[in-house]
Structure formats: C-alpha cells, structure tokens
C-alpha cells in the first residue's frame, strides 16, 4: 500500500491491523486522520474484532502531524484547518474505546505519531525505532495530548527533557523509561503486538489508559518544583522561544487539574502558539532546509548518486582535518595527504584531538572513536589515490599551488571520477564552515562546467556526513560570506561613529546571534579578515567600509582569541572580558578614518544598531538573489542560520527581512546613504521590491542578465 490512506485487515484471531500510509513519513494529514477514525469506527462495530493493532506502512510508524497544515495556517491565519482531535480521536475513539489498541512501532514515532501510540494501551517496538516529541523545534507544543501523556508514562523530568530539547530516544531508552512495553524484531513485531492486544482484551495483561495514570508524577509539590526549575532554565537557554514556557504551562495545568482538563487546555494553547512569529519562522526553516535538496537540473534528472566510500583529503590543516574528521565519523574511509611528515603528524593529531573533544562532550563513544580512527590513513604521496571516489583539496589559499595539485590529481585519480565529463566537470567547490566536523552547513559551489552528477555526488556525501548542502553559484565569498561581509563592516562603521563596541556586541547577541560581530572577529582570528579585506574591496567596489582598525589591533600585539588578546581578553574557564585598553586603538582608528561621532548617533537605540548592522547584510543578500547565486531565497535563510548562526527563531535572513518589510529597509538605507555614502546604497533588487511593496523572497521575474549563468 504505497498510496496515501488507511487500511484495515481483520485476522482470524480477531485482531484488526490498522495501517496508516502516507509516504514518505506517514504524516498525519487531515485526510489520514479522517480515514483512521472511519477504520476505528468500523473496527468497533464489527463483532469479529476483539482488539486493534495500529501501525504504519513502509517501516515507519509516523513522522507526526502534517506540517504542511501548519504552513497553511501561517498563510491564511485560519486555525480551523487544524483538526481538533485530541479528545475525539485520541480519547474517545482510541483510549476510551471498548476494544484495546496496541501500537506496533517501526522506524519513527515522532510528534503526533508518538502521541497516537501513547493513546494506545501498549506500545511494542522494533529495536531500531526512534521516538520524539519535536514540536517545540517547530515553535508549537505537542497538540495530541503529548504534554499530558508523556509525563504520565515516563515521569516529569524525562518528559520535560524530551519535549524541551526535542530529544530523540531509542527503543531501548523508551523501554527503560516506560514508554515502550516490549521490543520485538521487525519480523515478529506484528505477531507480538497482536498477541499483546488479545491479552489486554482478555484481561491477561493490564488495560492501561496513559491519561489516567498518576504513578509516575509524584506529589504535587515535587511536580511544581520540577516545573519551576525547568521554567527558570528555559528562560536562560531559550529566551526567544515562547513555546517552552507554554509547554511547561500545559504540563502544569494537567498535573493540577487532571489529564482531561490538561488536554482541553493543551488544544487551546496549541491553537494560540501556532500563530506566533516564532512558529511561523521555525516552520519556514523546516521546509527551507528540505528545499535545499531540490536542485533544478541536478536532482530532477533521475541520476543516481555514485557510492563514495573512500575520499582523499589533501591538506591536514584546520579545514582539512575537520573535513577528514566529519568523513571518518560517518564511516567514509579517508586518505589524508600532506607534504611532509611534520605536517602529516600535525594533521593526524588534529583529527585525533577533534575526536577526543567529541568523546569528552559525550557525543561519541570510545568504540565509535576507535572505528573512526581505524578508517583514516595518512600518506605523503599519491599512490593510494588510485581507488578513491572523491578528492577534497584543502590546502592554503594559494592559486598556483592549487593549480599544480589539480594537475597532479588529475593524473593519479581513477577515471570514473570524471566519467562522461570533461575534466572541468569533475571540479566542484565544497565550502565547509570551521570547525568542519561541527558546523552543519556545506556550500556546494558549482561552476558552469560542473556536471550534475558531480553535484549530486557531493550533495549525497554531504548528507552522509550530516551536513545540509546548499548549492550555490560562484562569486567572491560564495553565498554566505558574500552576504555577510557587511556584517562586520557595519559594526565597525558604527564603532567609528562613536557607538560602544561592547554595546554593539550585547545588542546583536540579544537579537539572537551566538555572539556579537567583534567577538566573532576575535574568535575567527584576524588573519582571514585581513587577507580577504583587499579581495572584498576590489570585488565590492564602493560598498566597503575601509578602516585600519584590524591592522592597528595586530600592531598592538592582538590576534583575537588565538593569543587571548583581542577586543576581549580570554582566559580559559572564564567568559571573555571586555578590555578597556582597546579604546586607544579605536580612537586612533577613528582619527585615521576621519569620521567623528555625531550627537545624533550617540543617542542611537538598540533597534537602530540591529538595523544598521543587518540591513546592509539584507541588501547584499538581495544582490546575491538577483545575480542568481542562490536557487531560492530560502537557501539564504537556511545558509544564514546554519553558517552564520542567524537566529533560527527569526526564520533566516530574508524571511526576517520580509517580516520587517522591503519598503522600510529601503527607506532606512536611503537615509544612511545620504549621511554615510555608498556602503548603504540600496541595491536595484531591493529598490524594485520596495517600490512595488513586494517581499524580498519573491523570485525575480527578470533577474539580472549577468547572473543566471552562474547557476
Ligand atoms: C499535533 C502534533 O503534536 C503536532 C505534530 O506532530 S508536529 C510534527 C512533529 N514531527 C516532526 O517534527 C518530525 C519532522 N520530520 C522529521 O524530523 C524528519 O523529516 C524525519 C525524521 C521524520 C525524516 O527525516 P529524513 O528521513 O531525513 O527525511 P526528510 O528529508 O526530513 O523528510 C522527507 C520528506 O518528508 C516530509 N516530512 C517529514 N515530516 C513531515 C511531517 N510531519 N509533515 C509533513 N511532511 C513531513 C519532509 O518535508 C520531506 O518532504 P520532501 O521530500 O518533499 O522535501
């Protein structure tokens, strides 16, 4: 049954197996829910049905409620399209029915899927199944009774942890916590679930309604204490996420007034929270992330990705060692090549240190670490390159050196790397973000010559190593660094007109960036910033802000976090401390730039700071879209979230800009252009949309001619 629908088969044992099918993840769309209710009605009516087994088609239980419906609510503002099923389906039809239900779970039971299983009277799962209530990561709360039943099944602390962190647990953990009643192999799953359901019907096993349980909750005072502590923590860790507090409120209501009251309240809260800006943004990010896998003329050509089992990485520096770490962590064999044994040793040590770091953080087990190291080999020549499936060049940024390496590898690599392509077609840019084994974004930079097969192969390996690959065209800085080059520069401009550096960082952090622009410079080191300065100045003529600040910082012996002395002072174990002696350097830089603080700017508001820093970034994003460097606006959104740490709860850069409005952004840039010049000049793309009152994310009907060639 690959079609979307719900089937029911009644066996001679009197068990009706109800199977939900809605590929690829059996999402609970309104029509699946309606059909499910019909099948249940039929099962209740039929005399030959004693018990029910509820399961999902194709090795998955369900990925939860259909998120497309949330997107529809966001488009229309109409919450009536949300099915009001928490009581009708989950309580009246399943939990309080006169025949028992057992959930037979394979693959995933997420969100509404897991909530369905919790309204059943027992849950049997395969060992490889996974469970989660990830609704909070979409800006909403569980709406099919999850905030009521999960605490009653696994206890408050575990339930809060799973919901607030959107944490996925394994079947083994589920069994340990009391969520799963038994684990069975996939071969035996249905058989055991049927027997279990019959045993409940015949009262040989307990008939348990999760909503009525109280044994795992503890006393009211204990429960309120736990909730209070969770509230305080969420205030700190998720300040921009209203759904965290709302979820805790929903749990609390049920604990004080009982599960049924809790359900009614949960539905009411769910219908409110879906309309928040946070939910709109997070649902947008969910779909934006998935859209990156759809690359016109690449993923729609029915090509098959070639298996990539062995990759050669040339260069074991910061990037090379990070990339090698990401590959071996995910089972891909790596040949690490360096020019001499000292560099090779350093590279191998860096990889070992990366793995050790993950082990210490508890992200990695010792076994996994050893497995990863066992598929890594360091070499000094090309003899091992004959059977590699991909080569990653990660040497220093010196063009002649890179060119000579390309000539060498072309001679030694197997022909299939370039099968049916000219040599140029084999080359594609893989822009990782540092540290490459941690940061989730991979920019895939294609040239006009890159073959679709090679792009598809890189998308595939990118996913294997758990990156989100975004395909972009070639330009200075590619999509992310190009879009964000004004980010640091506008911060510097503000600093030079008299705004306090640490205030800028504080304001930008509270906007939701992981750190402010000055701390970011400290952390990423001044070397790269100084190296790209002339490149940006020549590529983006007339729209860069030139200052000697970084040169002066370096001259005064500051290199940022690398030597613990930058705009901040760094000491291990403590937070970065502002360094007042930087003021002298700033004064000198201001003098050289010839800008003097204006009275008006000294009374600048926090909102002005955010706008003066991000609107030039939005302006550059407009150029990136106009030139066709990205396929769609949402690619910038996901790249800004994953590559630059732009706040996810704001939906990504362009999505956020559209909530602010193109006309407003345009008018602000125009004002600053008059005062400060070309750095703020609005782009044509922005101007056009502002004039017509259109959103920036709207695809251009007539993109710039220079550009389309790029993608
Ligand atoms: C009332 C309830 O409390 C409310 C809810 O249930 S809200 C929903 C809660 N569920 C979730 O948040 C789960 C979201 N989904 C996921 O985490 C992952 O998709 C997954 C783990 C299920 C599968 O991951 P993976 O195999 O990598 O596939 P992935 O590429 O993510 O998804 C495959 C397709 O299924 C779609 N999909 C996944 N979950 C979906 C859902 N719940 N609704 C609608 N579509 C969904 C994706 O959009 C994607 O579509 P596409 O192929 O057209 O791009």
DSSP secondary structure string for all residues of 102-148: EEEE-SEEETHHHHHHHHSSEEEE-TT-EEE-GGGGGTS---SSHHH
Name which residue sits closest to atom 15 of ligand 1, judged by CA: 63
Give the start-end residues of each E strand in 5-69: 5-10, 15-21, 51-56
Please list, in sequence order, all residues whose beta carbon lies within 8 angstroms of the beta carbon of residue 582, skipping any fewer than 6 positions away: 501, 553, 558, 567
Strand 169-170 versus strand 130-132 pairing type: antiparallel
Ranges of the chain whose pLDDT falls below 50: 419-421, 705-711
Decide: residue 699, CB within 10 A, 0-12 exposed, 13-18 middle, 19+ buried.
exposed
| Most informative mutation of 63, 246, 267 for ligand 1 (most atoms within 8 A of CB) | 63
Q: Please tell me the distance between residue 82's alpha carbon and the centre of ligand 1 in angstroms.
A: 17
Candidate from 22, 25, 131, 263 with most ligand 1 atoms within 8 A of CB, to mutate: 25
Contact 278, 139 (CB under 8 A): yes
pLDDT score for 420: 45
Q: Which CATH architecture has domain 5-275?
A: Alpha-Beta Complex (3.90)
Closest Cα to atom 22, ligand 1: which residue? 63
| Pairing between β-strand 130-132 and β-strand 310-314 as defined by DSSP bridges | unpaired
What would the two tokens of residue 358 be?
């993950």
- The DSSP secondary structure of 532-584, one letter per residue, reads HHHHHHHHTTTS----SHHHHHHHTT--BGGGTBSSEE--TTS--EE-TTHHH
What pLDDT was estimated at residue 705?
A: 40
Q: What is the DSSP letter of 436?
A: T
Q: What angle separates helix 366-374 from helix 318-329, to the nearest 10 degrees?
A: 110
Q: The dihedral of CA 336, 338, 340, 342: what is its sign?
A: negative
110 lines ligand 1 (CB under 6 A): yes
Q: What pLDDT sits at residue 599? A: 56
CA dihedral 260, 262, 264, 265 (to 10 degrees): 170
Task: End-to-end CA distance of the chain: give it in Å, rounded.
Answer: 39
pLDDT given at position 188: 98
Helices and strands (DSSP H and E) totals, the chain: 28, 18
The atom number, within ligand 1, closest to the CA of 62 reads 22
540 lines ligand 1 (CB under 6 A): no
Q: Can you tell me the distance from the alpha carbon of 680 to that of 622, in angstroms, rounded to the nearest whole number?
A: 13
Provide CB contacts within 8 A for 75, sequence distance 6+. Answer: none
CB distance 144 to ligand 1 below 6 Å: yes
The residue extents of the domains of the chain are: 5-275, 310-474, 479-710
616/620 Cα distance (integer angstroms): 6
**50 CA to centre of ligand 1 in angstroms:** 33
Q: How far apart are CA 67 and CA 442, in angstroms?
A: 25
- Given 3-state DSSP classes, what are the helix, strand and coil percentages for the chain, each rounded to the nearest 5? 55, 10, 35
- Convert 18-31 to b/e letters by CB count within 10 Å (16 or more is b): bbbbbeebbbbbee
- What is the SS3 assignment for 334-381? EEEECCCHHHHHHHHHHHHHHHHHHHHHCCCCHHHHHHHHHCEEEECC
pLDDT at 652: 98
Are 470 and 292 within 8 A, CB to CB?
Answer: yes
* CB 213, CB 145: distance < 8 Å: no
Helical axes 633-644 vs 478-496, angle rounded to 10°: 70
User: Among residues 472, 506, 485, 312, which one has the least CA distance to residue 405?
Assistant: 312
Extract the tokens encoding 235: 């205030």
Residues 593 and 498: beta-carbon distance below 8 Å: no
Nearest Cα neighbor of 647 from 658, 637, 632, 660 is 637
461 alpha carbon – ligand 1 mean position (Å): 21
Distance (Å, rounded) from C-alpha 473 to C-alpha 476?
10
User: Both tokens of residue 477?
Assistant: 């800085």
Range 479-710 has CATH code 1.10.1040.50:
yes
Residue owning the nearest CA to atom 26 of ligand 1:
25
CA 514, 517, 482, 694 torsion: positive or negative? positive
Containing H/E element for 314? strand 310-314
Quick check: 171 and 130 in contact, CB under 8 A? yes
User: Distance (Å, rounded) from C-alpha 614 to C-alpha 587?
Assistant: 25
C-alpha span between 149 and 254 (Å, rounded): 10
In the prediction, which pLDDT does 708 show?
42
Give the span between the Cα atoms of 106 and 113, in whole angstroms: 11
Which of 20, 62, 64 most suits a substitution to test ligand 1, by most atoms within 8 Å of the C-beta?
64
Cα torsion through 479, 481, 486, 487, rounded to 10: 120
83 lines ligand 1 (CB under 6 A): no
- Maximum pairwise Cα distance, the chain: 90
Beta strand 5-10 with 15-21 is antiparallel
What does the alpha-carbon distance between residue 325 and residue 368 come to, in Å, rounded to a whole number?
12
ipTM > 0.95, yes or no: yes
- Residues ≥6 apart with Cβ < 8 Å to 527: 559
Q: Which two tokens stand for residue 299?
A: 């993923």
* CATH code linked to domain 310-474: 3.40.50.720
Nearest CA residue ID for atom 49, ligand 1: 290
Q: Which residue's alpha carbon is nearest to atom 1 within ligand 1? A: 143
Rounded to the nearest angstrom, the distance between the alpha carbon of 140 and the centre of ligand 1 is: 15
- Active-site positions read 115, 135
- Ligand 1 within 6 A of CB of 65: yes
% pLDDT > 90, the chain: 86
- Our answer on whether the CB atom of 145 is closer than 6 Å to any ligand 1 atom is no
Residue 379: burial class (beta carbons within 10 Å; 0-12, 13-18, 19+): middle
Q: Locate tokens 């690619």: which residue?
A: 635
Q: 131 phi and psi, to 5 degrees?
A: -130, 140
Q: Is the CB of 108 under 6 A from ligand 1?
A: yes
């Amino acid at each position: 049954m690959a079609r979307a629908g719900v089937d029911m088969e009644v066996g001679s044992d009197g068990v009706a197996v109800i199977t939900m099918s809605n590929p690829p993840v059996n999402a609970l769309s309104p029509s699946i829910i309606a059909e499910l209710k019909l099948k249940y009605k039929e099962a209740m009516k039929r005399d030959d049905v004693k018990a029910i087994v509820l399961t999902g088609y194709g090795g998955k239980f369900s990925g939860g409620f259909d998120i497309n419906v949330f997107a529809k609510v966001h488009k229309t503002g109409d919450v009536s399209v949300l099915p009001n099923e928490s009581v009708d389906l989950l309580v009246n039809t399943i939990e309080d029915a006169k025949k028992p239900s057992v959930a037979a779970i394979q693959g995933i039971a997420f969100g509404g899927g897991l909530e369905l299983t919790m309204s059943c009277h027992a849950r049997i799962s395969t060992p490889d199944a996974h469970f989660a209530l990830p609704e909070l990561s979409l800006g909403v709360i569980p709406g099919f009774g999850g905030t009521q039943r999960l605490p009653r099944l696994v206890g408050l602390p575990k339930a809060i942890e799973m919901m607030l962190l959107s944490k996925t647990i394994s079947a083994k953990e589920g069994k340990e916590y009391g969520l799963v009643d038994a684990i069975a192999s996939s071969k035996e799953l249905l058989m055991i679930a049927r027997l279990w359901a019959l045993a409940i019907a015949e009262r040989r096993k307990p008939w348990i309604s999760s909503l009525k349980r109280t044994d795992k909750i503890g006393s009211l005072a204990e429960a309120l204490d736990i909730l209070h502590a969770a509230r305080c923590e969420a205030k700190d860790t998720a300040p921009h996420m209203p759904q965290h507090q709302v979820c805790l409120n929903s749990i609390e209501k049920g604990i004080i007034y009982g599960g049924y009251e809790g359900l009614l309240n949960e539905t009411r809260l769910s219908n409110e929270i879906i309309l928040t800006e946070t939910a709109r943004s997070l649902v947008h990010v969910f779909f934006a992330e998935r859209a990156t896998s759809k690359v016109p003329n690449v993923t729609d050509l029915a090509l098959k990705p070639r298996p990539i089992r062995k990759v050669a990485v040339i260069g074991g520096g910061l990037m090379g060692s990070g990339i090698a770490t990401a590959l071996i962590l995910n089972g891909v064999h790596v040949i690490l090549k360096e020019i001499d044994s000292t560099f090779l040793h350093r590279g191998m040590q860096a990889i070992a240190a990366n793995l050790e770091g993950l082990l210490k953080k508890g992200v990695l087990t010792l076994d996994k670490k050893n497995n990863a190291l066992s598929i890594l080999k360091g070499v000094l020549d090309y003899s091992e390159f004959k059977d590699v499936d991909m080569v990653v060049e990660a040497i220093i940024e010196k063009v002649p050196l890179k060119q000579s390496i390309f000539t060498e590898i072309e001679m030694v690599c197997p022909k299939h790397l370039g099968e049916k392509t000219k040599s140029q077609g084999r080359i594609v840019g893989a822009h990782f973000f540092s540290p490459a084994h941690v940061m989730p974004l991979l920019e895939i930079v294609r040239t006009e010559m890159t073959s679709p097969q090679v792009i598809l192969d890189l998308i595939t390996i990118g996913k294997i190593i758990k990156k989100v690959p975004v395909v972009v065209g070639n330009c200075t800085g590619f999509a992310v660094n190009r879009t964000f080059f004004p980010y640091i520069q506008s911060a510097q401009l503000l600093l030079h007109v008299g705004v306090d550096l640490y205030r800028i960082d504080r304001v930008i952090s509270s906007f939701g960036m992981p750190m402010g622009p000055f701390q970011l410079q400290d952390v990423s080191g001044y070397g790269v910033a100084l190296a790209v300065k002339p490149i940006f100045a020549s590529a983006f003529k007339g729209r860069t802000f030139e200052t000697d600040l970084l040169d002066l910082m370096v001259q005064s012996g500051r290199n940022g976090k690398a030597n613990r002395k930058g705009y901040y002072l760094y000491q291990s174990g403590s937070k970065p401390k502002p360094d007042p002696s930087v003021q002298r350097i700033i004064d000198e830089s201001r003098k050289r730039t010839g800008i003097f603080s204006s009275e008006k700017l000294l009374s600048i508001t926090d909102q002005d700071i955010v706008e003066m820093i991000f609107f030039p970034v939005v302006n550059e994003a407009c150029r990136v879209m106009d030139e066709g460097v990205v396929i769609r606006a949402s690619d910038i959104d996901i790249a800004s979230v994953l590559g630059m740490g732009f706040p996810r709860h704001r939906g990504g850069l362009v999505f956020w800009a559209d909530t602010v409005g193109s006309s407003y952004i345009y008018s602000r840039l125009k004002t600053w252009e008059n005062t400060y010049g070309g750095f703020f000049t609005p782009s044509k793309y922005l101007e056009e949309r502002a004039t017509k009152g259109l959103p920036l994310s709207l695809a251009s009907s007539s993109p710039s001619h220079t550009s389309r060639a790029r993608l």
